[in-house]
Amino acid sequence: MNLALFDLDNTLLACDSDYEWGQFLVDRGVIGREDYESQNAAFYEQYKAGTLDIHEFLGFALRPLAAHAPGELDRWHADFMATRIRPAIGAPARELVRGHLAAGDLCAVVTATNSFVTGPIAKEFGVPHLLATEPERSGDRYTGRVAGIPCFREGKSQRLDAWLAAQGRALRDFPVSTFYSDSHNDLPLLERVTRPVAVDPDEKLASEAGRRGWLVLSLR
């Protein structure tokens, strides 16, 4: 069995689901446009530049989850999937995932975006496993805080190792381990797999992929 790992935002998706979820809430009038929109854009620019403080960002991004009841959040998310996410999923991305599933590979989405936002997206692709940043819960409500290690940069490797260890496995056990990503923020995990693939990469990752001779492909 081989291992196939997929980054989500700007890799399988032609958008950033974390950013789009915030903008969706702004457009729905759930949160104020002026303050939230500018902060959301600023954090997104920091992410692209590689300067994002993930804990500062999560304190911002998880607040709306704590402010609303689960049923209300779920209703909004269904609309979010229909209007923002499914239009951002291209046929090549679906075909890529289907190919790995058909081959019997162990498949997982590995994303920094929180599991509330990304759980239904992973299901849309038919990927059975999701490693994502976990929002903390108290009873049936979100607290606005993060639980455990954020699935970001080196955290992706840590979360992957813990997930595999829970199955009695390690990354080295797989003859081929593939990770698809668009972002230089994912270099810590890309450097560990046997088959790193840069998907519609940002400028820094494109340069690194060229230097190292990594496969580069487009899903657009």
The answer to whether residue 7 is catalytic is yes
d(CA 77, CA 74): 5
Q: Which of the 8 DSSP states describes residue 182?
A: S
Q: Please compute, for residue 12, the number of CA atoms within 13 A of its CA located in the half-sphere on the CB side.
A: 27
Of the residues 9, 16, 186, 202, which is catalytic? 9
Dihedral (CA of 196, 47, 117, 170) sign: positive
The answer to whether residue 186 is catalytic is no
Dihedral (CA of 17, 20, 26, 31) sign: positive
Kind and range of the H or E run holding 26: helix 17-27
Catalytic residues: 7, 9
